[in-house]
Amino acid sequence: MDKSSPFFGTKLSFPTAYHPQTDGLAERMIQTLEDIVRGFFAYGLKFKDCDGFTPDWCTLLPELELEYKISIHSSTNQTPTIPEKGWNPKLPQDSLRKELIEIHPTAVIFKVMLDKARNNAVRCMEDSFAYAKDKWDKSHATPDLKVGDLLLVSTTKFNKIKGCKKLKDSLAGSFFIKALHADNAVEGKLSEELSNKHPIFPVNLMKSYRSSDAEKFPLRNKVSQVIPPIESSGIKRITNVFK
């Protein structure tokens, strides 16, 4: 599994033997599949044949599975069966003889039911993919950054910080942007206090720095610092002892 995961673009880390963790690809795919199945059956397919029979949703589940396996994903530009098996499954109509003229009425009704199930599956997949994309884009907007801008760095990933972690500042900085690495990484010019940190940070840990407005907050830069009292180093005596 360690050798096959880089081929699929998945990063694996095994904290324990019973709980393998990925970089979120499996979790995101499972949520998308849940949305597809929920939309396919909850708002579902209403079909009755000539005898008034309504098929159970379990009988239509293979049609949804087949439609998902032959759909092209935008991340790989391939169907899921190509990386997994190396070939696409054949559809039922690929094995039918086209020169047949007379078809049994039951087969015709069954084909109409499968066609409606496939069309419903395609619609549910498109809605689920569009919902997942819109949800991702809302929380992962590409920031407009330039070299020389001031940024604040989140301290959630900082270790070995002196003092209590609960009382530490949530942001450190400000720092100048030294270089931009693609659209998701920034190299900053750190201070001497953070010189042991790697200067490249992901964009989701950065926040734009805005200087204080002197007109709106005139007293912000004029706060007097209270110096704590210094204890004298003289020798103290015990005068009274109370029991």
| Domain limits, the chain | 6-139, 150-211
Amino acid 40 reads F
79-86 contacts at long range (C-beta below 8 A, 24 or more positions apart):
83/8
| pLDDT tens-place string over residues 20-79 | 555 555 677 777 788 888 877 776 566 666 666 666 667 777 778 888 887 887 777 888
Tens-place pLDDT, residues 69-115:
878 877 778 887 887 777 777 766 666 666 666 766 777 777 777 77
CA distances from 27 to 17, 105, 124 (A): 19, 44, 19
Q: What are the tens digits of pLDDT across the range 178-232? A: 888 777 778 877 777 777 777 787 777 777 777 766 677 676 665 455 555 555 5
β-partners of residue 188 are: 177
> pTM for this one?
0.46
Q: What pLDDT is attached to residue 138?
A: 79
Would you state the structure tokens that stand for residue 211, as one six-digit string?
Answer: 């200087």
Q: How far apart are alpha carbons 184 and 186 in whole angstroms?
A: 7
> What is the per-residue pLDDT for 216?
72
